[in-house]
Amino acid sequence: MVGIKLKDFQERCVEELLEQTVFGEKKEILIQAPTGSGKTVILLDYIDRFLLENKKYVFIWLTPGSGELEEQSQNKMKEMLANRATKNLADILNNGFEEQDTAFINWENVTKKGNTALKELEKSNLYECIENAKEEGLKFIVIVDEEHRNKTEKAENITELFNPEHIIRVSATTKRNDEAYNINISEMEVINSGLITKSLYINQGIENDIVLNDEIEYLLKLAINKRRQIRNACTENGVNYNPLVIIQLPSMSEDLIEQIEQYLEKEGFTYDNGLLAIWLADRKENIENISENNAKQCFLIMKQAISTGWDCPRAKVLVKIRENMHEDFEIQTLGRIRRMPEAKHYGNELLDNCFLYTFDDEYTETVKHELGRQASNVKSLFVRDEFRNFKLFKEIKNTDADNFAPREAFLAIYEYLVEKYKLANPEQNKEKLGKAGYNFNQNITNDILQGNTIELNKKNFVNSEKIRIQSTVDTYKNGLDLRHSINVIATKIGMIYQYLSPILQRLFLGNIEFPQKILKLNKKEFYAFIINNERKLEYDILDAVIQKREQRVKLQKEFKKTEEFRFPERITVKYDKKVSNLTEMGKNVYYGYPSSTLKSQAEKKFEEYCESSARVKYWYKNGETSKEFFSIVYLDKMNKAWTFYPDYIVGDIAGNVWIIETKGGEDSYGNSKNIDIKVENKYQALKAYAERNHLKWGFIRDVDDLIFISNGKEYVEDMKDKSWTNVKYFL
């Protein structure tokens, strides 16, 4: 390739790809490579070397997103492999596939509803192009870039259209699959090569228990100082690049953008002088040549959307503004600040590392979780032939129905808090709630992580600790924080913000007169109370509204619909390959179901029982939170409909079908391990469903090596109660 010398680990990866696609027997090859390891360079060198020796092949390069990654990858190939033929989807539809082509196709063009690529057209469509290529003796190899972004059945069907000789899946977060050939590029290999920074520092320099008037301005000040330090280090060490600070915003952030722009303008960074850039879906300013090492821009305002496929090695500082809504964390976002601008280390702490600043405690905890998550083994399984015709009727929520009762919800919360904390009047209630763990600090408090990590794919924090920051309440600036906290609580209990916000005001805000009043806080105290106690309020309010109610058929009729349920044709399971006595579960409805799938202790014991019991003919482990799985609908005290997915469907030798839900049992001291506060409603809903459909049912819990079942009139938590019976007497 033009001007490119591969690093040792890159060369090894190319050699493995060549060996597996020329001589290997496995159809799928998974490459797990950290962001910044040069995945595109590896793939291009592989394609070039493969096509030198194999003439009758076509490569299909599939990318996710809106199309920018597709164009970026194709342009990279044109630049580095000018002698190789590249095509996009339009080229294919007009001219078909030709020997030695590399075709770059964006997923959305072939998977989204209403696409034109797969319709019958007057000119050749994609199906016909593939068939014509096969008739000419051409073979396909499919590359799935950022493969974690499109693990859908429809996407898999598109991949299989090509009937490829091999499928190469590439991502920083690929899950190991023992049915495929796995190539793993370790983070230390990439670090040692000089391509990415030595470590990531989180919240460096923030003082413990500091009190702030404005969190955003404080974070921006830290970023400005850090950027200045890095710039000075560049000058002192003769390093030729201009460090960039990325400011990542939550989705709902128009007011934040204006605040950030105003602060940066005071510090001399504006759009007019070219030092500030913004990159949003509907607004782009000063982003031309921003990725070049000596580009003028010093700050870039962005959102999550450009995290995939964007390469800017001079980005060294990330400011993550506190979220006001839930967004998925992507490790690729951190990867944007880990690349080394000259693909080498300098022996300087400021130049060889990158820096993250954020007061979003949920984000830093998610970072720790994602960095510490080990790639587990995954396996695709197909349903056994004899269970293809199995059928039940599942219940799903009727999304058109809404019979929410705000008054009932308010009274349920009020009565619950009064009873739990023995509340009397607002003056005494503050002291009682404080003793019970509620935070009445008039500042907003936040515990954040401070430390650094070397490898992003391991929980390897050095000198890490939790430090506390405090912010004075500003009812304008903290309005989004208040809304976020109320939204978190509302989402947890299945309510909307517009219902929960007035309930909280009536309960706790002093300037709203209401007969049932728990606290009389002023406006600033109210803001601090809700934000500081988000987690505690979430738990208490959920416990209040989820209290048991009778699951009557008439009451539920308008809240649900029934649909046919069949065992899914194919599932993917995670399992632990390292288990010494790994076997296949012969009674599971899927071929090759491994005995070491990831599961709870109660589930593990129940599955072992099913395999060993002479009464059990077959069993199915249900999935969670997806329309393809078996589900039942129930109501809470607010008339809110909820869906739950019982854990197992079991068939016995007498022809009965059992619906089984597992819960945590008791430890050796008699302490309950069940953490599901919705258990009573689920119990009643499963009982009612089974009775209506003439099925067997039960809740399963474990004690020591024994498992017990309950399917009586009421749910009883105490497993010494006679309602809990050894499962062997039932199933």
Q: Is the pLDDT of residue 679 over 80?
A: yes
Q: Do the Cβ atoms of 101 and 59 come closer than 8 Å?
A: yes
What pLDDT does residue 675 have? 72
DSSP symbols for 118-164:
TS--SS--HHHHHHHHHHTT-EEEEEEETGGGG-SHHHHHHHHHT--
Q: Do the Cβ atoms of 495 and 409 come closer than 8 Å?
A: yes
Kindly report which listed range (155-159, 392-396, 507-511, 600-604) carries the lowest average pLDDT score. 155-159
Pairing of strands 725-726, 706-710: antiparallel
Nearest to 310 by CA among 341, 328, 286, 337: 337
H or E stretch covering 446: strand 444-453
Q: How confident is the model at residue 168 (pLDDT cuts 50, 70, 90)?
A: very high
What pLDDT does residue 327 have? 43
- Integer Cα distance of 214 and 222 in angstroms: 13
> 675 in helix, strand or coil?
coil
H or E stretch covering 276: strand 276-279
User: What's the distance, CA 141 to chain centroid?
Assistant: 29
Could you say which DSSP state residue 165 is in? S
Nearest to 421 by CA among 267, 254, 537, 595: 537
Nearest to 551 by CA among 429, 691, 452: 691
What mean pLDDT do residues 593-598 have? 87
- Integer Cα distance of 428 and 517 in angstroms: 12
Q: How confident is the model at residue 306 (pLDDT cuts 50, 70, 90)?
A: low
Q: Do the Cβ atoms of 144 and 169 come closer than 8 Å?
A: yes
378-398+549-729 classified as CATH 3.40.1350: yes
User: Rg (Cα) of the chain, in Å, rounded?
Assistant: 29
Nearest to 197 by CA among 68, 318, 302, 363: 318
What mean pLDDT do residues 609-626 have? 92
- Integer Cα distance of 518 and 705 in angstroms: 47
> 274 in helix, strand or coil?
coil
Could you say which DSSP state residue 376 is in? P
Q: Distance between the two ends of the chain, CA-based, in angstroms? A: 65
What mean pLDDT do residues 290-298 have? 95
- Integer Cα distance of 13 and 193 in angstroms: 14
Angle of helix 8-22 relative to helix 39-53, nearest 10 degrees, comes to 40
Most confident of 150-154, 321-325, 490-494, 653-657: 653-657
H or E stretch covering 692: helix 679-692
Phi, psi of 347 (to 5 degrees): 75, 25
Tens digits of residue pLDDT in 51-61: 999 999 999 99
**Is 478 exposed, middle or buried, given 0-12, 13-18 or 19+ CB atoms closer than 10 A?**
buried
Q: What is the mean pLDDT of the chain?
A: 85
What pLDDT does residue 119 have? 57
Q: Is 641 left (phi over 0), alpha (psi -120 to 50) or beta?
A: beta
* Torsion sign (Cα): 468, 471, 475, 480: negative
Nearest to 309 by CA among 519, 126, 63: 63
Q: Is the pLDDT of residue 579 over 50?
A: yes
Between 665 and 476, the higher pLDDT residue:
476
Tens digits of residue pLDDT in 260-290: 999 999 999 999 999 999 998 788 999 999 9
Pick the CATH number of 196-372 from 1.10.630.10, 3.40.50.1220, 3.40.50.150, 3.40.50.300: 3.40.50.300
Nearest to 464 by CA among 375, 371, 373: 371
Q: Do the Cβ atoms of 359 and 206 come closer than 8 Å?
A: no
Q: Is the pLDDT of residue 123 over 70?
A: no
Structure tokens at 269: 């960074």
Kindly report which listed range (238-242, 337-341, 491-495, 559-563) carries the lowest average pLDDT score. 491-495
What pLDDT does residue 325 have? 41
Neighbours of 142 (CB within 10 A): 24
H or E stretch covering 227: helix 215-236
Pick the CATH number of 8-185 from 3.10.330.10, 3.40.50.970, 3.40.50.300, 3.30.390.10: 3.40.50.300
Pairing of strands 444-453, 199-202: antiparallel
Structure tokens at 125: 């469509």
- 8-185 and 196-372 agree in CATH topology: yes
- Integer Cα distance of 281 and 647 in angstroms: 41
What mean pLDDT do residues 637-658 have? 90
What mean pLDDT do residues 575-601 have? 86
**Is 238 exposed, middle or buried, given 0-12, 13-18 or 19+ CB atoms closer than 10 A?**
exposed
Q: Do the Cβ atoms of 351 and 233 come closer than 8 Å?
A: yes
The residue extents of the domains of the chain are 8-185, 196-372, 378-398+549-729, 403-434+474-543
In this structure, what is the dihedral angle of CA atoms 497, 498, 503, 506, given to the nearest 10 degrees? 120
Percentage of residues in the chain with pLDDT exceeding 90?
52
H or E stretch covering 618: strand 616-621
What mean pLDDT do residues 669-685 have? 80
- In the chain, DSSP finds a helix count (H) and a strand count (E) of 21, 29
* Torsion sign (Cα): 569, 575, 578, 581: negative
